[in-house]
Amino acid sequence: MKFKVVRVLTNPKKDYASVVEKIAAFLLKNGVQIIYGEIPNPKEDLVISLGGDGTMLKAAKTVLHRDTPILGINLGNLGFLADIKAADIDISLIELESGSYKFEKRMNLRLDGSSDALNDVVVMPRLSFRVIHLLCFVDGVFVTEIVGDGVIVSTPTGSTAYSLSAGGPIVRPEMELMIINSISPHSLSLRPLIVSAKSAVNITLCSESAFVVTDGQTAKKISKGDEIEIVKSPDYTTLLRLDSIDYFSTLRTKLKLGDKKMRTGCDGCKKSSRCYYFSMRDD
């Protein structure tokens, strides 16, 4: 195994002792030094995240500016970023040992020149039952006003997170672009907008106050007249992805994209014996 020092990060609110013991035994067998917790070590060359996507996002914060890869094992619910299922840990560790993996660079957003986000930056009302009024600019050009529950500026990685729930598009995570998506707007004509990763998105608050939230984890208050700027970060997050996992299988499995129960047209097809699509059906 090429990794020498591995940090294991877990959700402190969950008891993952049995899983941690299994992974620790595997790493020690391969002569790997193990570190635990949220504090990074300059010698670490891999972070294993145990939990859900929230734990993955926390792991991404701890390796910012350092390009240390993250391997996500999903012990939560949906787990789109952390795509290894608990039932597949044993075979996944074998793949890791054999080198059957690749690294994926994921674009980040940078908020006001300081805070980075792997998934999204969200402007939302300070009180959940109030709408807010925002103005949106791209590269200094006025685009639209937004009156509603806020706005999401998302990366391709974050396209399957909050943005998707608000009606945004699914975007392959290795692409570089930004999705501007209003939340429950008071206008039927407002639709998600995709802009270049080279653009600068500026949001001005016209209401009395609001919160700006990065990756659902850190929030800051802004007041009437304040403007935030969102651009592509110069830093990337590196994910370790096993060769056995492909993006579209994850979409079909976790988001039920194209429910297999609807596939009735395969019956009697002459190509069924050698068709991948047919073999994936639920009979």
Model confidence over 140-169: pLDDT tens digits?
A: 999 999 999 999 999 999 999 999 999 999
- β-strands 46-51, 193-196: how paired? unpaired
102 forms bridges with which residues in the sheet? 241
Buried b / exposed e over 216-250, threshold 16 CB at 10 Å, is beeeeebeeeeebebbbbeebbbbbbbeeeeeeeb
Q: For the domain 5-100+243-264, what is the CATH code?
A: 3.40.50.10330
Angle, CA of 223, 215 and 53, to the nearest 5°: 155
User: For the ranges 100-104, 194-198, 225-229, 254-258, which has the lowest average pLDDT?
Assistant: 254-258
Nearest to 202 by CA among 265, 156, 252, 135: 135
CA distance 158 to 30: 34
Q: Where does residue 114 rank: exposed (0-12), middle (13-18), buried (19+ CB within 10 A)?
A: exposed
Q: What is the mean pLDDT of the chain?
A: 90
Band of pLDDT at residue 273, cut at 50, 70 and 90: low
Model confidence over 162-213: pLDDT tens digits?
A: 999 999 999 999 999 999 999 999 998 899 999 999 999 999 999 999 999 9
Q: Which residues are catalytic?
A: 53
User: What are 3's two structure tokens?
Assistant: 């990794």
**91: three-class secondary structure by DSSP:** helix
Band of pLDDT at residue 11, cut at 50, 70 and 90: confident
CA distance 107 to 230: 13
Note the pTM of the prediction, 2 decimals.
0.89
Query: What residue ranges do the domains of the chain occupy?
Result: 5-100+243-264, 109-234
Q: For the domain 109-234, what is the CATH code?
A: 2.60.200.30
Q: What is the pLDDT of residue 283?
A: 44
Model confidence over 111-136: pLDDT tens digits?
A: 999 999 999 999 999 877 789 999 99
User: What are 117's two structure tokens?
Assistant: 């986000």
User: What are 236's two structure tokens?
Assistant: 């990337």
DSSP code for 118: S
